[in-house]
């Protein structure tokens, strides 16, 4: 059986940018497990602006699947959507029988083959961070953080002076002083200057796309996602599963551990700020499923050591906003750890370099201690659902 997997990125994410494959680790891990089960796999990654409207992103996803899933074949095989962060909402929207997308009927004619949807750290009930990023200063900060994300993941060596400037700007978020936006913009330029001309041009296009279309940020506000949750419908017969992670709340102990490396210390401050904003709670729009099952509560408590507070989050999305469908995995990790962007041991990094494989590289230091074992268990859970959903579709056919 041939399984077709489609990966959709979200906030701070991208498909393939300047030769760096954002989903590379997740793609390899899931593909290995599907092949180990005796099946074949074909993967595709959605290229879309990270902050574009969810509806516009869903249209792009529908068109990508339609153009690559062998529509004319009677035995085309099951289709699986895997969305990280906002990408999970793209997948839900494109699959929903109750929504209208600006596409031809042919662009959606594959949906009878849809076997599973996996959402990873998706803001199903919104995130307070979106409310911050919709401000004029927040949009500039988002662009700077996005540039920093790419540099950190692809090169692993962002200019520390620019990171220091960004840390200084972040330290003023909750003060009357406000942002020094000139410093933020200079930090963005400093990040991009470490790239060669070819890559710099491509990454600048990516950063500029965030400026041109902020639709998703407005839609991810808790007030807007309250309407999204009320209007969307899950497709019958499709396996719906989610994975959840949370980061430890910022503490002096975590900060001290990060002092061993300059990058960890500075990025830890940035992460702490994102975590603090994401922990804000409004009882009217709580970023949580109001009807969470007892089984899900037990899974959270067992996996995380205790039932997470309403303020618990992965640095970007509240934990309780990430739950949808069947909760198949929960654990400690930050927003990008779960996609494979975490700090690996030096020996593993050296081994990866020896065989020409990309090593796991951290995003921002969160102190979550996510590692290869946790990444493996996460992918085991996702692959189990994908294989199960694929068999269900094959049996029905």
- State the pLDDT at residue 355: 64
State mean pLDDT over 314-336: 97
Domains of the chain: which residue ranges?
1-129+219-247+283-352+367-397, 135-213
The candidate with the shortest Cα–Cα distance to 33, out of 293, 385, 357, is 385
CATH topology of domain 1-129+219-247+283-352+367-397: Rossmann fold (3.40.50)
State mean pLDDT over 365-373: 92
CA gap 167, 206 in Å, rounded: 23
* Tokens linked to 32: 């290995």
Structure confidence at residue 167 as a pLDDT band (50, 70, 90)? confident
Structure confidence at residue 137 as a pLDDT band (50, 70, 90)? confident
- State the pLDDT at residue 350: 66
Tens-place pLDDT, residues 33-77: 999 999 999 999 999 888 899 999 999 999 999 999 988 775 689
CA gap 163, 187 in Å, rounded: 7
Q: Is the pLDDT of residue 271 over 80?
A: yes
- State the pLDDT at residue 176: 43
Pick the residue with more confidence: 353 or 261? 261
Q: Is the pLDDT of residue 99 over 60?
A: yes
Q: Is the pLDDT of residue 178 over 70?
A: no
Q: Is the pLDDT of residue 177 over 60?
A: no
- State the pLDDT at residue 158: 84
**Of how many residues is the chain composed?**
397
Mean confidence (pLDDT) of the chain: 89
CA gap 310, 279 in Å, rounded: 8
Tens-place pLDDT, residues 69-95: 988 775 689 999 999 999 999 999 999
State mean pLDDT over 214-229: 92
- State the pLDDT at residue 283: 92
DSSP 126: -
CA atoms within 13 A of residue 190's CA, in its CB half-sphere: 18
State mean pLDDT over 335-362: 79
- State the pLDDT at residue 185: 85
Instruction: Give this prediction's pTM.
Output: 0.93
State mean pLDDT over 124-150: 89
DSSP 295: H
At residue 40's C-alpha, the angle toward residues 68 and 111, to 5°, is 40
Q: Is the pLDDT of residue 397 over 70?
A: no
Pick the residue with more confidence: 15 or 178? 15
The candidate with the shortest Cα–Cα distance to 340, out of 379, 311, 289, is 379
Structure confidence at residue 187 as a pLDDT band (50, 70, 90)? confident
Q: Is the pLDDT of residue 106 over 60?
A: yes
Pick the residue with more confidence: 39 or 184? 39
State mean pLDDT over 149-167: 86
- Spatial contact of 275 and 250, defined as CB atoms under 8 Å apart: yes
């Amino acid at each position: 059986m041939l399984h077709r997997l489609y990966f959709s990125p979200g906030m701070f994410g991208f498909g393939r940018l300047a030769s760096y494959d954002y989903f590379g680790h997740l793609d390899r891990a899931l593909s290995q497990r599907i092949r180990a089960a005796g099946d074949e796999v074909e993967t595709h990654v959605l290229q879309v602006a990270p902050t574009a409207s969810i509806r516009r992103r869903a249209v792009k996803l529908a068109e990508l699947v339609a153009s690559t899933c062998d529509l004319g074949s009677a035995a085309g095989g099951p289709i699986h959507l895997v969305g990280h962060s906002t990408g999970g909402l793209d997948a839900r929207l494109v699959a929903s029988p109750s929504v209208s997308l600006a596409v031809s009927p042919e662009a959606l004619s594959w949906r009878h083959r849809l076997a599973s949807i996996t959402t990873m750290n998706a803001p199903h009930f919104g995130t307070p961070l979106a409310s911050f990023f919709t401000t004029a200063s927040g949009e500039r900060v988002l662009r700077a953080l996005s540039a920093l994300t790419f540099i950190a993941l692809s090169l692993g060596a962002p200019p520390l002076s620019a990171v220091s400037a960004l840390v200084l700007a972040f330290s003023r978020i909750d003060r009357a002083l406000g942002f020094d936006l000139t410093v933020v913009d200079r930090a963005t330029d400093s990040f991009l200057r470490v790239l060669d001309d070819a890559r710099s041009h491509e990454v600048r296009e990516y950063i500029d796309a965030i400026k041109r279309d902020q639709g998703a940020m407005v839609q991810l506000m808790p007030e807007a996602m309250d309407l999204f949750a009320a209007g969307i419908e899950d497709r019958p017969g499709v396996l719906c599963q989610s994975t959840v992670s949370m980061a430890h709340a910022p503490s002096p102990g975590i900060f001290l551990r990060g002092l061993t490396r300059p990058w960890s210390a500075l990025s830890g401050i940035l992460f702490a700020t994102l975590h603090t904003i994401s922990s804000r709670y409004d009882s009217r729009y709580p970023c949580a499923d109001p009807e969470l099952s007892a089984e899900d509560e037990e899974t959270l408590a067992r996996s995380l050591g205790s039932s997470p507070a309403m303020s618990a989050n992965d640095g970007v999305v509240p934990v309780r906003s990430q739950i949808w469908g069947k909760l198949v995995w929960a654990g400690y990790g930050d927003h990008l750890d779960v996609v494979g962007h975490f700090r690996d041991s030096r020996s593993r990094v050296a081994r990866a370099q020896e065989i020409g494989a990309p090593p796991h590289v951290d995003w921002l230091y969160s102190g979550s201690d996510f590692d290869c074992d946790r990444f493996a268990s996460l992918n085991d859970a996702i692959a189990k659902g994908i294989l199960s959903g694929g068999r269900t579709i094959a049996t029905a056919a």
